[in-house]
Amino acid sequence: MPLEVKDTRFGTIRYEEGDVIEVTDGLPGFRHLRRFLLIESDELAPLKFLQSLEEPFLSFPLIDPRIVVPDYRAEIDETGREGLELEEPKNALVYCIVTLAERPENSTANLRAPLVINTANMRAGQFILQGAEYSVTEPLLRS
Amino acid sequence: MLVFTRKSGESLMIGDDIEVKVLSVGSDQVRVGISAPRKIPVHRREVYEAIAAQNLAASRSEAPSAELIRRLQQLGRQE
């Protein structure tokens, strides 16, 4: 039976329980929110949105980090992999959270702390990468 | 806040399995070693706070403009 979440950035969204992504430890700053949907559409691509089910007005723009940095690599340590029960790297979807500014060139992506979704069990987490080669506010567009 | 005075090489235990050890002391820097179970994340506070602040900013994002989407699509095609 389809479920509904109302009053989101996208209006009313219908979903099924199997679509729900469980961010098991919450996101830094939003630890109390655990249940999300991944919103994608042709008009938004390549952006996607992580839509909160508990706070419908809250959503986080996402992007595949390789669009920003083609050779991007996220090493998720054993702790993180265990938390998501991530056994197969191919089951991992990696996104970066994006901050959209009014001017496109002021928009940034957080490459330092990627969001990893285990598609095998729909668990996700935001992991802070050790080492500082990637920035929390990497420009989304580079000239 | 509990306050302890420790010398270089001395430790504190938090519970049974978290150890905080002072490795060396300089004039304005302290090197600290943490041994904790892998399930306990340990981060520099300023990094964690920067990420929490950026998540808040991201949640207040502007609606994506058509221009931004077009430029991102161009980037995606260049790969």
Q: Is the pLDDT of residue A112 over 70?
A: yes
Contact B73 A27 (CB under 8 A): no
Quickly list DSSP for B31-76.
EEEEE--TTS----HHHHHHHHHHHHHHHTPPPPPHHHHHHHHHHH
d(CA B53, CA A21) in angstroms, rounded, equals 22
**Which of A28, A46, A99 is closest, CB to CB, to B57?**
A99
Q: How much is the ipTM here?
A: 0.91
Residues of chain B with pLDDT under 50: none
Provide the pLDDT for residue A75: 82
The values of phi and psi at residue B38, to 5°, are -60, -25
Contact B39 A83 (CB under 8 A): yes
Q: Stretch A66-71: mean pLDDT, rounded?
A: 90
Q: Which residues of A touch B45 (CB under 8 A)?
A: none
The answer for A122, left when phi > 0, alpha when psi is -120 to 50, beta otherwise, is left
How would you classify the pairing of strands A21-23 and A11-15?
unpaired
**Which of B50, B67, B72 is closest, CB to CB, to A47?**
B72
Query: Residues A70-111: pLDDT tens digits?
Result: 889 888 877 778 788 888 888 889 999 999 999 889 999 999
Provide the pLDDT for residue A143: 58
State percent of chain A over pLDDT 90. 62
**Which of B53, B58, B71 is closest, CB to CB, to A61?**
B58
Q: Is the pTM of this model over 0.95?
A: no
Provide the pLDDT for residue B78: 62
Q: Which residues of B touch A44 (CB under 8 A)?
A: 64, 69
CA A71 centroid distance within chain: 19
A18: distance to nearest CA of chain B, Å? 24
3-state class (DSSP) for residue B53: helix
Provide the pLDDT for residue B77: 67
Provide the pLDDT for residue A100: 95
Q: Stretch A9-24: mean pLDDT, rounded?
A: 92
Mean pLDDT of chain A: 90
State which H helix or E strand residue A94 sits in: strand A92-99
Reported confidence tier of residue A17, pLDDT bands at 50, 70, 90: very high
Provide the pLDDT for residue A2: 83
3-state class (DSSP) for residue B6: coil
Contact B51 A28 (CB under 8 A): yes
Contact A47 B76 (CB under 8 A): no
Domains of chain A, each with CATH number or no CATH:
3-139 (2.30.290.10)
B45: distance to nearest CA of chain A, Å? 12
Taking a contact as any Cβ pair under 8 Å apart, which residues of chain B between 12 and 31 contact chain A? none
Domain segments of chain B as ranges: 11-69
Contact B54 A59 (CB under 8 A): no
**Which of B47, B65, B73 is closest, CB to CB, to A104?**
B65
Query: Residues A126-136: pLDDT tens digits?
Result: 998 887 689 99
Kindly list the distances between the CA atom of residue A132 and the CA atoms of A3, A28, B1, B36, in Å, as whole numbers in the listed order: 41, 18, 30, 22
DSSP assigned state of A27: B
Say if residues A80 and A117 touch (Cβ distance below 8 Å). no
Q: Stretch A48-67: mean pLDDT, rounded?
A: 95
A102: distance to nearest CA of chain B, Å? 6
